[in-house]
Structure 1
Amino acid sequence: MHVVHVASEVFPYSRSGGLGDVLGALPAQQAKLGAEVTVVSPWYASITEPVREVWRGELNELPRDLGEVRVAEAVREGVRYVFVGLSVFDRPGLYHEDDVYRFSMFGRAVLPVLARLRLLPTVLHGHDWQAALVVARARLARLRTVYTIHNLQYQGKWNMYEGRYWTALPEFAYGLDGLEYFGEINLMKGGLNFAHQVTTVSPTYAQEITTPEYGEGLDGLLTRLSIEGRLSGIINGLDQERWNPRSDPYVPSFSDLRGKQAATQALRKEFGLDDAPILATVSRLAEQKGMDLLIEALPELVKDWNVVVLGGGDPLLTAALTGWAQHPRVAFTQGMNEPLSHRIYAGAYAFAMPSRFEPCGLSQMIAMRYGTLPIVRETGGLVDTVPHDVGFHFRDATHTALKAACDAALNTPPAEWARRVDHAMSLDFSWSGPARQYLHLYQRLTGQ
């Protein structure tokens, strides 16, 4: 079986968040289980990992003014990585305001590139809206397709006039059963309609997105897919080697609560914190992540906690946290910093995830692996991954509910806390189970 994953980012070559982490780990695990696996992603100007150019030329399937296409390869952990170089990806960074155009060009290039390299997929597996056009084109080419929603909020919408020209699909594809969405094109809707099977990254999120509250305008379509048996949830895994407190190069190694104390003291020293427990978060700064709730709760939280935040995003939230960083019990570092994130996960006492919605989430899994207990809102993958006898849950998306859950954590007796930490560090979040679930799904689709 040859599985071809298509995604806008893949760790360690390109990454802005959880999508890149998933594509860095899931294909490798599938390769270990015996599948032939290829990952196709853009060849961004910012990629610094070594890759080898294998083809260069023009593709008839693309507009001529796009110029030459460059294709590179790399092999890592038994997985072939194919990078499609287009002029629209020559800018610094991964994402820009014209991404619907950029990923439409990418979507038109993927299948011709695979044909040039003689890489015929048994199953093509597209991820999020940036790969939706590839899924639609693969279905039209009679390939078996799986489409995974990592975050339904971002759908790839544009006006119909330019969108039709960019995507260049047959006329029937722009109807209600295709890409049309209130007079616009919607790439994600096209992926949902054309895929043989749709998955999302946790069972609870798969249920939530069939409701108006979480369905982002596509709840009707998703409900139909669910009724037809074409929608399911498979929880994400975690790269157990990259996130391993016993061998992490960025923190003092430890395997239990007692050993964790060295990491906690190092984090206190790094940020000049006092002896109050450390509440941390590593997150994109967005209302989806509930970061505004955390900021609203800060006046009360700093009475009992040190608060450490690492992340970037919304300018207003960034400005608010920058102001709060003047407080002796608040430490804020803007942007993403891989070594620092490891030190925070390892050294914190508890980890806050007050998300309004959370398709799966990796941070809570990482935190538990490092013995840092999550304080989470009951939604999506947080429900599916954080046991009630490990973390602390709250229902309402309010700063008062978040503060109450933090109080419950703070008032937990030491013996009970130690038991929760031991349980957290024993949980298995490896990719082995999810990778097998996806392979079984492919087998059902193909009869192999």
Structure 2
Amino acid sequence: MTLSLPAGPTVHVASEVFPFSRTGGLADVLGALPAAQAAAGQPTVVVTPWYQGLEDAAQVQLVETLTVEGVGAVRLGHERRGGVDYLFLGLADFDRPGLYHADDVRRFSRFGCAVVPVLQSLGVQPRLLHGHDWHSGLVVAHAQLSGWPTVFTVHNLQYQGRWPLYEAAEWMALPGWALGPDGVEFHGEANLLKSGLMFADRVTTVSPTYAQEITTPEYGEGLEGVLQRLEREGRLHGILNGLDLERWNPRRDAYVMNYSGLRGKSGNRRRLRAEFGFDRAPILGTVSRLADQKGMDLLLRALPELVGSWNVVILGGGDPVLEAAFAGWGYHPRVAFKGGLDEALAHRIYAGADMFAMPSRFEPCGLSQMIALRYGTLPLVRETGGLVDTVPSSIGFTFGEATSEALLSSANEALATRADRAEWERRVREGMALDFSWDASARAYAALYADVLAGRG
């Protein structure tokens, strides 16, 4: 197979890309942003690992098998979809079930060493390379060392890709100076996220508020000093994520009773009530990873009082202790819990619930609150990160302290507001009318890219 790629593309590199591979919001962003850029006329390529079994879910065609020095054989797969060229790199390290494993620093270091040589072998000269999260931090370093303009986006600072430096140094193929404090070294460890921060021309986060928060000790995950330096140098920016409005569209959603206003939503509420045997009390829903970041322990501690006024439906997996604790509420007629992922149920919750709980301790951007608003479900969120940037206080319900008491207070405020039907319906209508399309975000990235290229002369 002969592969023909566009000249001067923007190249995105990420560990997961919807609809090919997904564990969370990173994949959703990589499924939407490149497509928006391609629709705006920018040639766009996405590079991601070729995970085992991926060819079963997509029309990936094997282009050739390359040999990359220090990495070995790399299978190159390709699919073109929606104006975007997707390249899949198949390394032996990824030939196992699942996306992520305990040795991911080694796996993604080898992937990071392969991306630039593969693109060069294809004759690709990127207009700019855009890496996403720690998995691409080494790619950004190698791209910068090859003279390519780069942008690096932090989707979640908590995950950094750290490993003892004496061992990881053998995997990264970097010059000696790049292994020091001005490169990947961080307190005696290799830190692949720091690699992206240090080598990129510009660093972005996925919301303006999160960009401010991560320069503080509370949110900086130990890297606040590096991020403060980037901020002083004008290299740190916050660009709010958008939402895939085709995938999340209550008018055409195959998983729900389609609707465009309040009347149609009521049918989905009735169906959700019937599915779980709920009574006529309003429904509070959540779709979330069960993790400390997401504040799901706050929701758990608030349940005894919440069920006095709300039916509660929870979908999610993660922390086994939280899973067991939520499952333990299965006896209660006003609580429904399902562990793990269930795409269809997630859509039904967004469409059928009255309110959506997102009590995150920190939230780089978050997509769930935007989906909830689009489906006419008012968010109950903590005032942090992207939740501040996307949930107006005149529409949703917010609280400041990361406590179950603060959550309950906001839920009670919502309950009192719901008694005023006209006010509740105003909030729902205005929430559904908010514009979360990728257009504005794509324009912001285009301006940032232009700034990087201008700085390069």
Say if 1:61 and 1:112, in contact at 8 Å, map to a contact too: no
After superposing the two structures, state which structure 1 stretch, 147-156 or 432-441, moved more.
432-441
| Distance in 2 between residues matched to 1:182 and 1:87, nearest whole Å | 30
Structure 2 residue 410 is the aligned partner of structure 1 residue 422: no
Question: Secondary structure in 1 aligned to 2:124?
Answer: coil
Structure 2 residue 60 is the aligned partner of structure 1 residue 51: yes
Q: Could you tell me how far 1:106 is from its partner in structure 2?
A: 0.5
CA deviations on 1:158-217 (whole Å, 9 max, x unpaired) are 001111011121000111111111111111111100000000000000000000000000
| Distance in 1 between residues matched to 2:35 and 2:242, nearest whole Å | 12
2:374 is aligned to 369
2:182 is aligned to 177
CA deviations on 1:360-392 (whole Å, 9 max, x unpaired) are 000000000000000000000000000011100
Structure 2 residue 23 is the aligned partner of structure 1 residue 38: no
Question: Secondary structure in 2 aligned to 1:81?
Answer: strand
Q: Could you tell me how far 1:43 is from its partner in structure 2?
A: 0.3
1:186 is aligned to 191
The letter of the residue matching 1:343 is R
Q: Could you tell me how far 1:408 is from its partner in structure 2?
A: 0.6
Structure 2 residue 27 is the aligned partner of structure 1 residue 15: no
1:445 is aligned to 452
| Distance in 1 between residues matched to 2:199 and 2:330, nearest whole Å | 48
Q: Could you tell me how far 1:327 is from its partner in structure 2?
A: 1.2
Structure 2 residue 220 is the aligned partner of structure 1 residue 215: yes
| Distance in 1 between residues matched to 2:38 and 2:53, nearest whole Å | 27
**Structure 2: 5+ residue runs without aligned partners?**
1-7
Say if 1:133 and 1:187, in contact at 8 Å, map to a contact too: yes
CA deviations on 1:211-254 (whole Å, 9 max, x unpaired) are 00000000011011001100010000000000001111111111
The letter of the residue matching 1:57 is L
Q: Could you tell me how far 1:57 is from its partner in structure 2?
A: 3.0
Q: Pairwise mapping of residues 282-431 of structure 1 onto structure 2 (< 5 A)?
A: 282-412=287-417, 413-431=420-438
| Distance in 2 between residues matched to 1:114 and 1:249, nearest whole Å | 38
2:201 is aligned to 196
| Distance in 2 between residues matched to 1:46 and 1:276, nearest whole Å | 44
| Distance in 2 between residues matched to 1:391 and 1:173, nearest whole Å | 46
1:116 is aligned to 121
Q: Could you tell me how far 1:354 is from its partner in structure 2?
A: 0.3
Q: Give the total of aligned pairs.
A: 444
Question: Secondary structure in 2 aligned to 1:58?
Answer: strand
The percent identity for this pair of structures is 63
Say if 1:42 and 1:85, in contact at 8 Å, map to a contact too: yes
1:99 is aligned to 104
Structure 2 residue 43 is the aligned partner of structure 1 residue 29: no
| Distance in 2 between residues matched to 1:257 and 1:406, nearest whole Å | 21
| Distance in 1 between residues matched to 2:333 and 2:171, nearest whole Å | 52
Say if 1:199 and 1:232, in contact at 8 Å, map to a contact too: yes
Structure 1 residues 332 and 46 mapped into 2: Cα distance closer, same or farther (>3 Å)? farther
Q: Could you tell me how far 1:87 is from its partner in structure 2?
A: 1.2
The letter of the residue matching 1:51 is V
CA deviations on 1:134-178 (whole Å, 9 max, x unpaired) are 001101111000000000000000001111011121000111111
Q: Could you tell me how far 1:46 is from its partner in structure 2?
A: 3.3
Structure 2 residue 175 is the aligned partner of structure 1 residue 166: no
> TM-score if structure 2 supplies the norm length?
0.96
1:3 is aligned to 10
Say if 1:148 and 1:199, in contact at 8 Å, map to a contact too: yes
**Structure 1: 5+ residue runs without aligned partners?**
none
